[in-house]
A = this chain, B = another copy of it.
Amino acid sequence: MAHNQSSPEAGVGPDRKAALNNTLRHRILTMQIAPGSVLDEVALSEEFGLSRPPVREAMRQLAGEGFIELEANRPARVTSMSYQSLRDFFLIAPMIYVAATRLAAEHASKADIAGLREIQDSFRDAVHSNDVDGRVFYNDKFHLRVGEIANNAYVLPSLRRLLIDHARIGKIFYRPSNARMLEELHEASRQHDEIIDAIANHDADRAEALIRAHLDLSRKNMAMYAAPEGMAISLGV
């Protein structure tokens, strides 16, 4: 349990605004707040010990990052998901993930690799200790960090948007009772390690192959859940 993003008493501390942002992100990623839910401004301002203006600013920011959707004179809602979202996700994700990973392999410094390994250590721990939220959280952090290492302002926006739904898809289709799924989580963790190695070696081609396999694993998992009997399901591509 390395992270405590969702502390119950968040109304204290030096930087309550950052706490609000991080906590909301975490709750949305882990689906503690379900897609489509409404966010009440006063409730949040009371929870985090802020007045409404800074809360509203945070909302605008989160909306820009794709976590929530705003409409005039209407409450903020967590970005919704649909069957269409799944299709769109697996259609675009390979392109963006590959671009980010290849660029990361080209640009990564020693410090970047060290940072990546640190995140991956936390991710591995979460997988081994069956900490579902921690796994979702550090998986997000891992891929986001790869995107930051890529150091290209034009890939990051879509990558950020994809990662939100990547996390939520991972949570939706996660079934703890399934032994095969557990094995595949460990497989995903191993893939992370290999991706780091490929990036460290500046081997963009290998990094690309690995990230593609990584996404295919997610997609297969999801398809397996949605269509256990081997039904044809068109997942784009």
Binding site for B on A (CB under 8 A): 53, 56-58, 60-61, 63-66, 85, 88-89, 91-93, 95-96, 99, 103, 152-162, 165
What 6 A-B pairs come out closest when comparing CB atoms? A64-B64, A157-B157, A158-B158, A60-B60, A92-B154, A88-B152
Complex A-B: 6 CB contacts under 8 Å? A89-B154, A91-B103, A91-B152, A95-B99, A157-B157, A157-B158
Max count, chain B CB within 10 A of own CB: residue among A89, A103, A161: A161
User: With A88-B152, A95-B99, A152-B91 as given contacts, are A157 and B56 in contact (CB-CB < 8 Å)?
Assistant: no
> Shortest distance in angstroms between A237's beta carbon and chain B's nearest beta carbon?
13
Give the residue name and chain of the B residue nearest to A61 (CB): B60
Contact of A153 among B57, B65, B88, B152 (CB under 8 A): B88
Complex: how many Å from CA A95 to CA B157?
A: 14
The answer for the CA separation of A91 and B153 in the assembled complex, in Å, is 11
Which residues does chain B contribute within 8 Å of A154, judged by CB atoms? Answer: 88-89, 91-93, 96, 158, 161-162, 165
- Nearest-neighbor residue (CB-CB) of A79 within chain B: B153
Q: How far is the CB of A185 from chain B (nearest CB, A)?
A: 24
Chain B's closest residue to A18 (CB) is B72
The complex places the Cα of A199 from the Cα of B219 at a distance, in Å, of 29
Please give the distance in Å from A115's CB to the nearest CB on chain B.
21
Nearest B residue to A56, CB-CB? B57
Task: A60-B61, A156-B158, A157-B158 given; name 4 further pairs at CB < 8 Å.
Answer: A61-B64, A89-B154, A95-B95, A96-B154
Q: Are B153 and A85 in contact (CB under 8 A)?
A: yes
- B153 x A96 contact (CB < 8 A): no
In the complex, which residue of chain B has the Cβ closest to the Cβ of A15? B72
Find A63's partner among B58, B64, B93 (CB 8 Å cutoff): B64
Name the residue on B nearest A60 (C-beta).
B60
